[in-house]
Amino acid sequence: MKFAKQLSLRTIPNWEEHYVDYKGLKKYIKESQPKYAGTVFQCAIFDRQSYSSTIHTFTLPNYITTESNNDATLLASISDHFRELLVVELQKVEGHYLIRSKEGSEQLEEQSAAVSIFLCVGLAVVSSSKDGQT
């Protein structure tokens, strides 16, 4: 099962708007890919047997070509924009988490105070009943 499908099955409906927009980020990546069509990349691949690296050159398929295929600034701007989108999504998740955490802490304090009052009242009742028995 693909990640997106697993993610959608595990979401809590009331919290869905507070999750990372995986589909939106994935769509941005897919829409950005054609901008790299025809771009030539090089990478070094290490060979364990010969203990040497070989430089391999590969070109992304020409699905859609643009004039700026070989422009490194295009890659940097897309990368920067994706990073900004990701930061916004992470801030959204963190903001929701902090709100829920604060609500949980407040509820815990309220319950703790209620238990303390209950124990004090219970001890006072037990103490007064002991005083009445002697």
pLDDT of residue 132: 62
Q: What angle do CA 16, 102, 117 make, to 5 degrees?
A: 130
pLDDT of residue 121 exceeding 60:
yes
pLDDT in the model for residue 22:
86
pLDDT of residue 82: 86
**pLDDT class of 91 with cuts at 50, 70, 90:** very high
> Which of 16, 22, 6, 15 shows the shortest CA–CA distance to 89?
22
Average pLDDT value for residue range 71-79: 72
Is residue 14 scored above 80 in pLDDT? yes
User: With a threshold of 0.75, does the pTM exceed it?
Assistant: no
Choose between 96 and 45: higher pLDDT.
Answer: 96
43, 69 in Cβ contact below 8 A? Answer: no
Element (H, E) at 86: helix 72-133
pLDDT for 12 beyond 60: yes
Going by C-alpha positions, the residue among 34, 30, 129 that lies closest to residue 82 is 30
> What's the pLDDT score for residue 126?
65
The pLDDT, as a whole number, for residue 111 is 94
pLDDT at residue 113 in the model: 92
For 19-68, the pLDDT digits (tens) are 888 888 888 888 877 655 566 666 655 555 665 666 666 565 554 445 54
